[in-house]
Copies of this chain bind each other. A is one copy, B any other.
Amino acid sequence: MPLGGELGRVLRNSEVHSGLCTLFLAHTSASLLINEGADDEVTRDLERFFARLVPDGEPLFRHRAEGPDDMPAHVRTALTQTSVSVPFADSALSLGTWQEVFLWEHRLAPHTRTISVTLIGADR
């Protein structure tokens, strides 16, 4: 799920206009991802790759408290990011041309996720 629109609103409502924006996801079975946002096939291919690398129901895992997609979600989280830092200027993230920030859900059932945003201001 792309976060660019919502992050843009947060930045435009802040008194800090330039600096470093650090996102933190307060969960252990979802990730923050910065990757290509222009072609939806990219995130679908990422999903396919991670589903093959760490399949739901993987018999290696013993932690199954919440079902067959529980532990694979924790492993996918460990292989990706829980916190990312992106510079911003003029109240907009300084992302590359093809970059988008995504919330990446690893569980099968829908979950409500909380992301904290810390803005640290720079002089210019």
- State the main secondary structure of chain A at its contact with B: mixed
**A99 & B45 in contact (Cβ 8 Å cutoff):** no
The interface size bin for chain A is 35 or more
Residue of B nearest to A49 (CB): B75
**B116 & A87 in contact (Cβ 8 Å cutoff):** yes
Min Cβ gap A53→B in Å is: 8
Min Cβ gap A16→B in Å is: 10
| A-B contact sample (6 more), CB < 8 A, given A35-B78, A45-B71 | A22-B85, A26-B94, A27-B98, A36-B74, A39-B63, A48-B61
Min Cβ gap A64→B in Å is: 9
Interface residues of A (CB under 8 A from B): 19-20, 22, 24-28, 33-36, 39, 41-42, 44-46, 48-49, 52-54, 58, 60-63, 65, 71, 74-75, 77-87, 94-99, 114, 116, 118, 120, 122
Across the interface, which residues of B come within 8 angstroms of A62, CB to CB? Answer: 41, 44-45
